[in-house]
Amino acid sequence: MAATLALLAASGTWWWRNDRTTRFLPADTAPFIAQFDAPPAADSPATRAELDELLAMQAMRSPADEAAARADRKTDIAHFYEALGFADNPPSLPRTRALAELVEADVRVYVRAVKSHYRRWRPYEIEPRLHRCIDDVKGDRSYPSGHAAFAWAMAWLLVEVAPDRRAALEARAATFARQRMVCGVHFASDVAAGKRAARLIIDEIRKDPEFRALAAAAADEYRQALALQPERAE
């Protein structure tokens, strides 16, 4: 297991790779898909309202907003290290990173299953006045938001490691997930479904003994790293 964790920590993970295996979750994704209602139809009043919301956000977004959204474009657990209390020169946390990549891989498989089932169009594919500020989403469906699912899964994973950081971690997840609306590539209902997906997945993953053991090791790593910090971010 140590060799596996070291390899994962070194290799990184590409979010939209076509993996179809899971580590902590059942291989059958059908029960998970069944827990999601269909998103609003493209020509429905609900979708129109969501599109108008995105147009309003687009009208208000600044170059700084776009830069912040692009900075959160990649799925990386390090985006959450400041919320863990590491403001400057964060540690590498290899056990935490390796566990995060295992969880992310499971989230990816399950979210892609729902995306493939419903195949919702992206907002900018329906509303030509939307101009996205990121360009790495072509060919992928909109519902649920994988970015939101990643964000909330990482936040709740890290709550297992650092329970006292829940508020900061959840605030970071909300911001990270919302960036996809800022850039016009997800509907609000996509983001909400991504959060729901993460909750269902993490609740299931927490039942796995291997996950619990790895989370305990990550918690030890976190406490050791925090003890070496000259000052904790609040």
One of 3.40.50.80, 3.40.50.300, 3.40.1390.10, 1.20.144.10 is the CATH number of 42-227, namely 1.20.144.10
Q: How far is CA 129 from CA 6, 52, 58, 136, in A?
A: 46, 10, 10, 19
Mean of the pLDDT values across residues 175-194? 96
Alpha-carbon distance 184 to 131, whole Å?
7
Residue 9 pLDDT > 70: no
Q: How far is CA 193 from CA 62, 105, 106, 215, in A?
A: 27, 18, 16, 25
Could you count the other beta carbons within 10 Å of the beta carbon of residue 9? 18
Write the pLDDT tens digit of every residue in 133-146: 887 666 679 999 99
Residue 12 pLDDT > 70: no
Write the pLDDT tens digit of every residue in 151-162: 999 999 999 999
Q: What is the pLDDT, as a whole number, of residue 139?
A: 65
Specify the higher pLDDT residue, 77 or 2.
77
Contacts of 180 (CB under 8 A, 6+ apart): 69, 145, 147, 148, 186, 190, 191
Give the predicted TM-score (pTM) of the model. Answer: 0.87
Residue 129 in tokens? 């006045």
The position carrying tokens 């170059």 is 63
Among candidates 107, 100, 104, 128, which has minimal Cα distance to 197? 107
Where exactly are the structural domains of the chain?
42-227
Residue 3 pLDDT > 90: no
Residue 233 pLDDT > 70: no
Residue 170 in tokens? 């959840």
Among candidates 169, 154, 138, 127, which has minimal Cα distance to 215? 154
**Residue 144 preceded by cis peptide, ω within 30:** yes
Residue 181 pLDDT > 60: yes
20: confidence class by pLDDT, cuts 50, 70, 90: low
In contact, 179 and 68? CB cutoff 8 Å: yes
